[in-house]
Structure 1
Amino acid sequence: MVFMWDLERYSSNTAVIDDKGNNLSYGELLSDERELCSHVESRSLVMQFARNTLGSFIGYISFLDQKIVPIMVSPALSLELKKQLIDRYKPLYLWMPSEMKSDFSEYSEVFCLYDYSLVKTNFSQKYIIYEDLALLLTTSGTTGSQKFVRQSYLNISSNADSIISYLKITSEDRAITSLPMHYTFGLSVINTHIKTGATILLTDKSIMQREFWAFLKENNATTISGVPYTYEMLQRLRMPTMELPSLKVLTQAGGKLSADLQKYFTEYAISSGKQFFVMYGQCEATSRMGYLPFEDSLRKPGAIGIPIPGGKYYLIDNKGNAISDCHTEGELVYEGDNVTLGYAQGFEDLCLGDERHGRLCTGDLAYFDEDHYFYITGRNNRFIKVYGNRVNLDEIQSALKEHFTELDCAVIGKDDLIVICMTSDKYLSDVKAFFEERISLNPKALKIIMVDNIPKNESGKIIYHKLATELL
């Protein structure tokens, strides 16, 4: 069994600083871990309602270190969905913000630490947990899906080592939590920095709040991470005009970034002595599978780059045959130690072993160029037929966002109908003209609908099925 991190090795280093004034060394973190885990049975399942606060952080680090299995859940879920998940997975314990205790009065509190409480459920654990199962993470954010990804200790440790290698993370780094802890990318930032003895700057404030930037500056953050939506907001905030001398690395994953935004932040990074890394990943591969080396960011606009150290990419056609020609689209397949065990739909699946054996068919369509750098073109399930033509909805959406940089839109559709959802009619006539001039499809196939907002999960990804259910 692979061990996650060595807290004793960095005992005098600062492990975490939060925006409430708390400051813990690795030695103090280890002490809190021992106290918390003395109340939890070995190899038990704990449902953690995770937010970016000290109690949640200590719980996550402690559970993984002591081989207790956390199932990470968004506290933003409705009470009904929370209880459905509890019934589905039958955890022995809940680790939750203390103010949530009244929602679960049928269970008894056994321990409290900072802002979190450990609650014992009425379930008696009679199921087997696979020996290498470390963590359960959802891919769906706040939608309350019962399907979780089963991540192993090897998955988490190997992925962290690869990321540490190419980002050159050291104990001197200070990473701010700009993403939710229950989201695979946000959790990966914590994993990589704890594994190197670095410092986590812990805040639940968003990048749109002044308190976030005050906390970042006061504590000399060196690293900030975000999804495409994060960088859309950072552009609107005119980040290049800010005085951020301590910041040295910006990382992006969680979806395809537009070529314009990639260029914008790369040029900002170069001019300010920072580095900007575009990356590619999925929860099913623990976190990250590939990255674009910073020095290639302007030379390879739109690329997801190369596999992480220890990983491998290749493409297959619709018959499963490997594609050897460059600029030929196929499904991207990834191989590496970070490919997760498989899915769980409930407690019955916690005994399952490794179902993927280090190989993941990503569901993303891609091609590679002459230098074997990879480019994502869309998703397998984001294709429709329009009057006999195969149409990639992601390509249309990307084209619109690159042409209209301030347009908040989402593109959905069904056969013979493309629906562009927009939050403002400011560009209505321009979008229609753009579609007719640049996209060689019959305008009768187009419908534009005004919506109050584009539904997104907490990681900023558009919830297409919600739009489709309401509008198609």
Structure 2
Amino acid sequence: MITQGIVTGGPSLSIPAHLSFGQYVIDRLRSFCETNKDCLINYETGNKVTSKEFLKDIVSIATGLRKLQLKRGNTIGIFSENRNEYLAAVLGAVCCGATVTTINAIYKPDELKHALSIANPTVMFCSQSTLKNNLRVLKATPSIKTIIQFDGTPTETGIIRYKKIKMDANIWEFEPADVQQGSSDTLFLQYSSGTTGLSKAVMLTHLNVLYAVACFDYGYIRECCSRILIAMPWSHIYGLAVTIHLLTCNKLVVYLPKFSSDRYFDAIQKYKIEALYTVPPILVIISKLPIVSQWDLSSIKRISCGAAPLSAETTQSVLERLPNCTGIIQGYGMTELSLGAIKCTDDLNSVNKPGSCGRPVPGVKIKVVNIETREILGPYMEGEICIKGPLVMKGYAGNATATKEIMDNEGYLKTGDIGYYDDDGYFFIVDRLKELIKYKGNQVAPAAIESTLLQHSCVADCGVVGAPDEAAGELPTAFIVLKPNVKPNKEDILQFTEQKLSPVSRLRGGIIFTNEIPKNPSGKILRRVLKQRLSQIK
């Protein structure tokens, strides 16, 4: 419905707002756990978990954490690759009433230190590999009292093995901790760069996440698909929320700890996957690479795609290569929106439009405003997309200024994305006002890369932007001003940054030496000018 330039998704969904998210998950799993069928498979190891085993793992780890005095008001951190224990640790902590912060396993020490300084966790769950590379940072964090290692031999004395934390408990008698206010108690701290700058910790409440999972039933995979493949990291709200929702719907989730095209396609063939939750770069591979024909992908019925725009051309090409796939469902969201606020519908009788990310989900209001005047715009007029509703985050942890800046005076969240809607209320994303670079669905903050570059002894100034790339979305590219009398050496600078930046933040678009970095009077880098220069060079 469109009224005076406001596009709405209709009445709000009815959700169990009186419940904690932990109670919601436990209740859902109890309703079908006696079937005891496989619910989670690690493609890499072949390790399987049944629904009853999964519920027992959650209850066991929650009971063990309670013995460690974990309770409401505490924060625990998860710093690991995707693995079966990951989800049980997350939900076990949630059942204790704690806040959970999930940290990307590819973070370098400086990035990890920044995330921990915001979250201040008391307990950390880590894998053997993340501990080996980051133990010094973890031990130097004052808030951390306990480190629990998922796999292998404890890296150091004092680190507790995951299995030692688990305690026997009755899955039918266990009671998750209550929360005082589902709309104010923070459930997840998820890292996002918002519209600019270094990463911020997004506070998502129990109500935010309960509403987000309710929205999955509106416009996503339904009864037609029972075997789903996930390749997104659970440190990101997209991968985490999707996987938890599917497990509470009695689906089988096959996941990849780390993406590779061969493993991805083999998993589809081996487990006869019916639905994919994925990102545009993977669909670009399906649409273009000849090797796709080596695998039997005929089992795929539906695809859900998010995290970045998907072109109409790629959509059409994928559907031509997957003749049994009845549609690709797109959505739009961001961490600050508890995942997705705009979605295409899963109803085969509806009209989904190529290139569109869909219409607002129920309970959500959206307006498009002029970037300069903030005037509300009508259909087909491009402006900044602003969103209001129960999916909007509580705010940024410890950063009231950033929270205030991202909200307008009517309570709408300013997404920083430029787009428009048509007469039917379908939205189209055309550009980004915000400075973030989207590399393979990951948010990359130029400021973080610039901060690293400025540590190099030869760099006087720099500016980072994204170079358009069909497969990856954007490639981080640096314009660099060298110090006087210094000879250009791209290889040395690239090697320096690769040692300090996570893989998604590396300068895959290369380095361009320049005499100056364009800035406005206040010193802010004019990235649009750099992008214009980049397009001319390319």
- TM-score (normalised: structure 1): 0.72
Deviation at 1:97, TM superposition (A): 0.5
The answer to whether the 8 Å contact 2:221/2:275 transfers is: no
Give the 3 Å change call, closer, same or farther, for CA 378–65 of structure 1 in structure 2: same
AA aligned opposite 2:269: K
Give the 3 Å change call, closer, same or farther, for CA 191–236 of structure 1 in structure 2: same
AA aligned opposite 1:289: A
Gaps of 5+ in 1: 121-127, 384-396, 415-450
Q: Which residues in structure 2 correspond to 1:308-387 (within 5 Å)?
A: 308-317=361-370, 318-323=372-377, 325-345=378-398, 359-381=412-434
Deviation at 1:104, TM superposition (A): 3.2
Residue of structure 1 in register with 2:93 after alignment:
63
Provide Cα deviations, 1:362-406, integer angstroms capped at 9, x if missing partner.
1111112222221112122469xxxxxxxxxxxxx99x76xxx67
Gaps of 5+ in 2: 1-17, 161-179, 437-465, 480-493, 518-538
Q: Following the alignment from structure 2 to structure 1, what is the Cα–Cα distance between the partners of residues 473 and 417? A: 23
Provide Cα deviations, 1:58-102, integer angstroms capped at 9, x if missing partner.
212322344321111012112343244334432110011034445
Q: Return 355-364 or 188-197, whichever deviates more.
A: 355-364
The answer to whether the 8 Å contact 2:345/2:352 transfers is: no
Q: Which residues in structure 2 correspond to 1:199-210 (within 5 Å)?
A: 199-208=252-261, 210=262
Alignment pair present for 1:3 and 2:56: no
- How many residues are treated as equivalent by the alignment? 402
Q: What secondary structure is seen at the aligned counterpart in 2 of 1:272?
A: coil
Q: Following the alignment from structure 2 to structure 1, what is the Cα–Cα distance between the partners of residues 503 and 224? A: 27
Residue of structure 2 in register with 1:278 after alignment:
330
From 27, 37, 40, the counterpart of 1:16: 40
The answer to whether the 8 Å contact 2:122/2:146 transfers is: no
Deviation at 1:24, TM superposition (A): 1.6
Deviation at 1:285, TM superposition (A): 0.5
Give the 3 Å change call, closer, same or farther, for CA 34–330 of structure 1 in structure 2: same
AA aligned opposite 2:89: G
Deviation at 1:345, TM superposition (A): 4.2
Alignment pair present for 1:37 and 2:62: yes
Residue of structure 1 in register with 2:119 after alignment:
89
The answer to whether the 8 Å contact 2:128/2:152 transfers is: yes
Q: What secondary structure is seen at the aligned counterpart in 1 of 2:219?
A: helix
Provide Cα deviations, 1:229-288, integer angstroms capped at 9, x if missing partner.
22222323347634123322212111112232122224445x324321122111110111
Query: Identity of counterpart residues, as a percentage?
Result: 18
Q: Following the alignment from structure 1 to structure 2, what is the Cα–Cα distance between the partners of residues 33 and 42? A: 15
The answer to whether the 8 Å contact 1:55/1:114 transfers is: no
From 78, 100, 108, the counterpart of 1:78: 108
Q: What secondary structure is seen at the aligned counterpart in 2 of 1:166?
A: coil
Give the 3 Å change call, closer, same or farther, for CA 99–61 of structure 1 in structure 2: same
Give the 3 Å change call, closer, same or farther, for CA 406–341 of structure 1 in structure 2: closer
Q: Following the alignment from structure 1 to structure 2, what is the Cα–Cα distance between the partners of residues 282 and 93? A: 27
AA aligned opposite 2:206: Y
Give the 3 Å change call, closer, same or farther, for CA 259–100 of structure 1 in structure 2: closer
Give the 3 Å change call, closer, same or farther, for CA 371–18 of structure 1 in structure 2: same
AA aligned opposite 2:60: E
Q: What secondary structure is seen at the aligned counterpart in 1 of 2:64?
A: coil
The answer to whether the 8 Å contact 2:330/2:343 transfers is: yes
The answer to whether the 8 Å contact 1:180/1:459 transfers is: no
Provide Cα deviations, 1:16-51, integer angstroms capped at 9, x if missing partner.
122323222222112212221223211221111132
Q: Which residues in structure 2 correspond to 1:58-457 (within 5 Å)?
A: 58-101=88-131, 103-104=134-135, 106=139, 132-139=185-192, 145-170=198-223, 173-208=226-261, 210-238=262-290, 241=293, 242-269=295-322, 271-293=323-345, 300-317=353-370, 318-323=372-377, 325-345=378-398, 359-381=412-434
Give the 3 Å change call, closer, same or farther, for CA 410–155 of structure 1 in structure 2: same
Q: Return 198-207 or 76-85, whichever deviates more.
A: 76-85
Provide Cα deviations, 1:422-468, integer angstroms capped at 9, x if missing partner.
xxxxxxxxxxxxxxxxxxxxxxxxxxxxx99xx9x9897x8899979
Deviation at 1:301, TM superposition (A): 2.8
AA aligned opposite 1:95: F
Taking only aligned residues, the RMSD between alpha carbons, in angstroms, comes to 4.4
Q: Following the alignment from structure 1 to structure 2, what is the Cα–Cα distance between the partners of residues 458 and 272? A: 38
The answer to whether the 8 Å contact 1:180/1:458 transfers is: no
Q: Return 153-162 or 193-202, whichever deviates more.
A: 193-202
Q: Which has the higher contact order (CA 8 A, sep 6+)?
A: 2
- TM-score (normalised: structure 2): 0.64
Q: Return 297-306 or 64-73, whichever deviates more.
A: 297-306
The answer to whether the 8 Å contact 2:118/2:201 transfers is: no
Residue of structure 1 in register with 2:487 after alignment:
none
Give the 3 Å change call, closer, same or farther, for CA 110–140 of structure 1 in structure 2: closer
